[in-house]
Structure 1
Amino acid sequence: MAGHNASASAGGYLYQTDWALVDLLRKGHTRPDQAITLELHDDVAWNEVSDVANVVELLQVKLHGTSKSAGLGDMAVDVWKTIKIWLDRPDRGDPQGPDLVLVTTSVAAEDSAAHALRPATRDIAAATNRLLAAAKSSKNDDTEVARKAFLDLDPAVRGTMLSRARLLDGQMPPEDLNAAVREALTWALPTGGSHAEDSFVSQVWKYWHEVAVDMLAGRRAAVSVTEVRAFIRELRNRYTTENLPTTVELSSITEEHIRLYDGARFVRQLDLVKYSSPALRTAIVDYHRAITQETEWLSNSLLDVYELRKFEAELRFEWEREFTSMIEDLELDALSPEDVEVAKIKAGRGLLRYLLNSTSVSIRTYYNDGFYGRGKRHELAGHDDTLQRIGWHPDFADRLEAITAKI
């Protein structure tokens, strides 16, 4: 039972966090100077951007396992827990205080106080009378403190508090939240079909969950409507014919990923020019990110194969030009065999570093995340086709052939 309760609690927290994004996207255009907080003033709260302490709307968000009246009866624990939260506020009797909202997936029964607090069926007198009756007749120990506080409250204060309260019942279940976010983002969705749209919405969710974690951890107080809209605009700019979104983050690469490439051909190429261990690790990270990111772009129809092959051809042409220059600049005649090898290794490592820092070739005009170009160069260095392969050491082709022959 304890495990079940923990699961339900976690589900409730996730629901209120995700529901807050839907609320922000839906209301944001009418609240450009406001921000949302999580678990600061209430489950969710709307505040003035200029002063987070200036609360505009407080929302208790409840996830119930049924769409009926669970949790919304006049004696229900969730109803009285919510009322207790409202009662504990110092501005409970202030007619200019923030709106008090109970958001729930349940639907209130017609003869309940909760139903009388719905915007469409609002009747403050009826809600007050039903709550007073329930407060007097209920014997539930879990609601005793809240019921007593409600009964002891000055009638004028009680009336003012309930006049600011409303119920938003029948809210969408968790499984419908993604569709609601997608609908709210209709104006921003990229072209390219459902895969591109799915990728875009997924990035918005990822951003929101990172922001939510920061708020819940106390690393930030709020997130403003303008900040979220700025992120969405910037994200949309990456879903164009001149840009691409980066969805594979550096933080997603693990040591297990790195171990996958022990002995890989591109790693052998790096070994030929004695690329150091720390630098070798970053090269492997770039490679893994690049091929993973490219797979996602292709799968989401954000990049086509023709464009990819053209980019690879330009990378090879850039390499061929610089590799030829490196060979021409080598002066080996007066060197001993040992010094010749040292000179070749140094020249190859210089070529590698130069090309890894080169930004003259990019997959799209405004895409400038460097890991992709670096990773693609490593991919070409490990290409199965010797005619397509590039390398760093002046003798890389013969050296790789010799290594392969020994295996």
Structure 2
Amino acid sequence: MIKEGKTKYSASDSLVGYLYQCRLALFETLKRLKTNPSITVAVETLDDVVFETNGTPTEIIQVKHHINRQANLTDASTDLWKTIRIWCDFYQNGIPQSGTVLCIMTTSRASKGSAAYYLRAENRDIAAAEKILLQTAQMSVSKENNEAYSRFSNLTSESRLELLKATLILDQCPLNEDLDHYLQKEIWYVCQRSKIDQFLMYFEGWWFKRVLKSMCSECSMPILGEELDSQLNELREQFKSDALPIHADLKTATVDCKLYQNHTFVRQLELIDVGSKRISIAVNNYYRAFEQRSRWLREDLLLVGDIGDYERNLLEEWETHFETMCEELGEDAAEQEKIKAARNIYNWVEKEADFPIRKCQEPFITRGSYHILADKQKVGWHPEFQNRLTRLLEGKEVAG
């Protein structure tokens, strides 16, 4: 039996670090967006987080996350010297432009009187920081920092001072568990206070997906400030009292059609000879609607009674079309006539039926909800769908 808890092979700390990096990037972007709407941000390109304006890097940031606050940003800190080594390479390759800030954002605390302490915004003393770093490079026995010591020491005094002048240490940054509070403060104005937790969950879901898309792209795809602004506005509309938000991941979610092949709503489509590709579309719409409705209920954005009212509306609209079809077919219609008429009703569901739940008009909600009702046998397409399904689900052959 495998015991619960971390093993030496666990990557949980690294994963938390990466997620923290993404969340901190979002927080810092929101702060800057207020005064610089044309800002762009990139994650894991030149460095952990890079802010640009008009294509020029303005801030190159290393993010250091630790589970607990410690005064471990000492003069021989591995966090500090790994970053210095990277920035020495940047500097020698001419990457930082005049005015570019090289920043370490860390949850740790810079020890008083340390080099990092003098590279903060307060009590800033570049000369003192250089002196301490040079002494550390000469006297420290840390093998892990040897390469960084060498690269920093080999810079000219003028270059070292110029590099340190561009360096900014931001210590005691919010811990991961505190970021919810800080992110909520940045977006408090976008929706009712009672819905701010759900709003942030939807917004971060979009953000993580956008970061992943950027990182997976073969070419650099920085995230534009305008994109964040647009997403905030879109979610603001969805979180109005008479609206409902859509999870970004569900808009394009797909599932394996084989997992649903025995579901009643799929059997209903097979009764009217719907092709496999359209059945696959139907399965995706069923899954998306079912999952989104479930999330709304879990998030207290929707009540069970709201779902009941919505489904009654769908039933009434379907019943009008269905009864009209049955009346026009008559009792002596051939099977192919029945199938053709039934496909017309299903075509209406796919192409024309548009019934918002509150003000949410996402098409997959209407289409998928009809499949949910079809799965419960409350609606159907074939004029004899109830009898046919009873025989089919009992394992009997369906008459042609």
Classify the TM-score, shorter chain.
Answer: 0.7 to 0.9
TM-score (norm 2): 0.86
Which of 156, 177, 180 is the aligned partner of 1:178?
Answer: 180
Letter in 1 for 2:269: L
Give the superposition deviation at 1:178. Answer: 2.8
Partner of 2:350: 356
1:300 equivalent to 2:299? Answer: yes
Report the alpha carbon displacement of residue 342 of structure 1 after superposing the two structures with TM. 2.1
- Aligned residue for 1:43? 48
Specify the alignment match of 2:69 in structure 1: 67
TM-score normalised by L of structure 1: 0.85
Match of 2:318 in 1: 319
Long gaps (5+) in structure 2: 1-5
Is the contact made by 1:60 and 1:103 (CA closer than 8 Å) also made in structure 2? yes
Letter in 1 for 2:59: E
- The 3 A distance-change label for structure 1 pair 160 and 324 is same
SS at match of 2:168: strand
Q: How many residue pairs align between the two structures?
A: 388
Q: CA deviation at 1:119?
A: 1.4
1:93, 1:369 → 2: CA distance? 45
SS of match in other structure, 1:314: helix
Task: Quote the residue 1:101 is aligned against.
Answer: 103
CA distance in 2, matches of 1:276, 1:232: 39
Deviation string, structure 1 residues 279-334 (Cα, Å, up to 9, x no partner): 2232232222212211211222222344433322222222222122212322665x
Once the two structures are TM-superposed, the CA of residue 13 in structure 1 deviates from its matched residue by 3.1
Which residue of 105, 130, 140 maps to 1:128?
Answer: 130
Could you say if the C-alpha distance between residues 270 and 94 of structure 1 is closer, same or farther in structure 2, counting changes exceeding 3 Å? closer
Shift of 1:107: 0.7
Residue 15 of structure 1 aligns with which residue?
20
Q: Are 1:345 and 2:339 counterparts? A: yes
Change (3 A) 1:382 1:30: same
1:15 aligned partner, one-letter code: Y
Cα 1:15–1:325 shift into 2, 3 Å? same
Per the alignment, residue 3 of structure 2 pairs with none
Structure 1 position 405, deviation (Å): 6.5
Q: For 1:357 and 1:192, how far apart are their aligned partners in 2? A: 37
The CA RMSD over aligned residues, in Å, is 2.9
Matched-pair contact (CA < 8 Å) for 2:255–2:283: no
Q: Distance in 1 between matches of 2:15 and 2:310?
A: 46
Partner of 1:85: 86
Secondary structure of the structure 1 residue equivalent to 2:58: strand
Does residue 1:224 correspond to 2:224, yes or no?
Answer: yes
Show the counterpart of 2:278. 279
User: Which amino acid letter does the alignment assign opposite residue 209 of structure 2?
Assistant: E
Change (3 A) 1:298 1:125: same
Identity %: 31
Contact map agreement 1:74 1:112 (CA 8 A) in 2: yes
Q: Which amino acid aligns with 1:346?
A: K
* CA distance in 2: counterparts of 1:211 and 1:348, whole angstroms: 41
Q: 1:375 aligns with which of 368, 373, 394?
A: 368
Given that residues 93 and 161 in structure 1 are in contact (C-alpha distance below 8 angstroms), is that contact kept between their aligned partners in structure 2? no
AA of the residue aligned to 2:88: L
Residues 355 and 75 (structure 1 numbering): CA distance in 2 closer, same or farther, change over 3 Å? closer
Whole-angstrom distance in 2 between the partners of 1:38 and 1:243: 33
Contact kept? 1:117, 1:124, Cα under 8 Å: yes
Distance 1:116 1:400 in 2: 77
1:243 equivalenced with 2:237 (yes/no): no
Return closer, same or farther for 1:4/1:177 CA change in 2, 3 Å cut-off.
farther
Q: Return the alpha-carbon distance in structure 1 between the equivalents of residues 317 and 7 of structure 2.
A: 63
Contact 2:356 2:362 in 1 (8 A): no
Distance 1:294 1:40 in 2: 38
User: What are the superposed Cα offsets for residues 244-291 of structure 1, whole Å, 9 maximum, x if unpaired?
Assistant: 222261554432xx4554443333333332333332232232222212
Contact 2:32 2:39 in 1 (8 A): no
